């Protein structure tokens, strides 16, 4: 693994839309979403194995890494996020639980990893915060760093499953903006995943929450 850290060179949307709200992220998720359910389903789909090396892109406060790593302590987990503030939060959370994960800071460009080093990569509630160009770039970077045969698992806002889900999703859009969330609610994430080179792309489930339809997607980097 390359182990350099870079200055953040790209603008980004913080975990809760605004930098001053980042400290409230965990509480807000607990109050607005079925947190145990959506995180447990994500980690069940990830199904981490002892000999695997797994990347979480956009680890936020480290909540998924904490669950995944306690479920499979011998898996090598790595985390990449653009925001130094969440890295501090995630670092303390994981340290308090005696969990050792390499948390790297992303500069918004090329991922700081060599080609084909991860068995699996996952990302949760991140792609709705990326503009269309950045979505495409990050999916192709994930594709590059996965081994042939490697698997991508995404949990994020997807196509609203009914009119009420479309209406409540305006809450997320008002906080995070329409520019980055529109492709999600139009159901376009699977197209981005396919365009990055992934095969067998599919929606594998969804949960209707108080603030929108949270969907799971998967794709495979085929062996050549």
Chain residues that interact with ligand SAM, rule: CB under 6 A: 10, 12-15, 58-60, 63-64, 81-83, 86, 106, 108, 124-126, 129-130, 134
Structure tokens, 11: 């603008």
CB of 112 to ligand SAM, least distance (A): 12
Q: Which residue in the shown chain puts its C-beta closest to ligand SAM?
A: 60
Structure tokens, 40: 């447990």
CB of 132 to ligand SAM, least distance (A): 12
Which C-beta is closer to ligand SAM: that of 31 or that of 222? 31
Which C-beta is closer to ligand SAM: that of 86 or that of 121? 86
Structure tokens, 67: 């669950």
Smallest CA-to-CA distance from 66 within 32, 98, 44, 38 is with 98
Q: How far apart are CA 195 and CA 32, in angstroms?
A: 32
CB of 51 to ligand SAM, least distance (A): 24
CB of 223 to ligand SAM, least distance (A): 28
Distances from the Cα of 59 to the Cα of 14, 25, 121, 150, 156, angstroms:
12, 12, 11, 19, 13
CB of 29 to ligand SAM, least distance (A): 6
Smallest CA-to-CA distance from 125 within 54, 52, 175 is with 175
Which C-beta is closer to ligand SAM: that of 119 or that of 141? 141
Which C-beta is closer to ligand SAM: that of 130 or that of 196? 130
The total of other beta-carbon atoms located within 10 Å of residue 191's CB is 13
């Amino acid at each position: 693994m390359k182990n350099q850290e870079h200055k953040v060179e790209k603008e980004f949307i913080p975990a809760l839309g605004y930098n001053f709200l980042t400290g409230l992220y965990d509480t807000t998720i607990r109050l607005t979403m079925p947190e145990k359910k959506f995180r447990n389903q994500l980690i069940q789909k990830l199904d981490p194995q002892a000999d695997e090396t797994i990347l979480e892109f956009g680890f936020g406060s480290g909540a998924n890494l904490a669950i995944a790593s306690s479920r499979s302590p011998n898996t090598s987990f790595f985390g990449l996020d653009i925001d130094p503030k969440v890295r501090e939060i995630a670092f303390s959370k994981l340290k308090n639980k005696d969990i050792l994960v390499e948390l790297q800071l992303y500069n918004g460009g090329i991922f700081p990893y060599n080609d084909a080093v991860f068995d699996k990569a996952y990302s949760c509630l991140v792609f709705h915060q990326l503009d269309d160009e950045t979505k495409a770039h990050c999916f192709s970077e994930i594709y590059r760093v996965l081994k042939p045969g490697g698997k991508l698992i995404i949990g994020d806002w997807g196509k609203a499953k009914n009119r009420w889900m479309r209406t409540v999703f305006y809450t997320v859009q008002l906080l995070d903006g329409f520019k980055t969330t529109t492709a999600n609610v139009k159901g376009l994430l699977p197209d981005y995943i396919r365009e990055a080179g992934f095969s067998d792309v599919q929606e594998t489930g969804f949960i209707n929450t108080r603030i929108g339809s949270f969907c799971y997607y998967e794709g495979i980097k085929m062996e050549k």
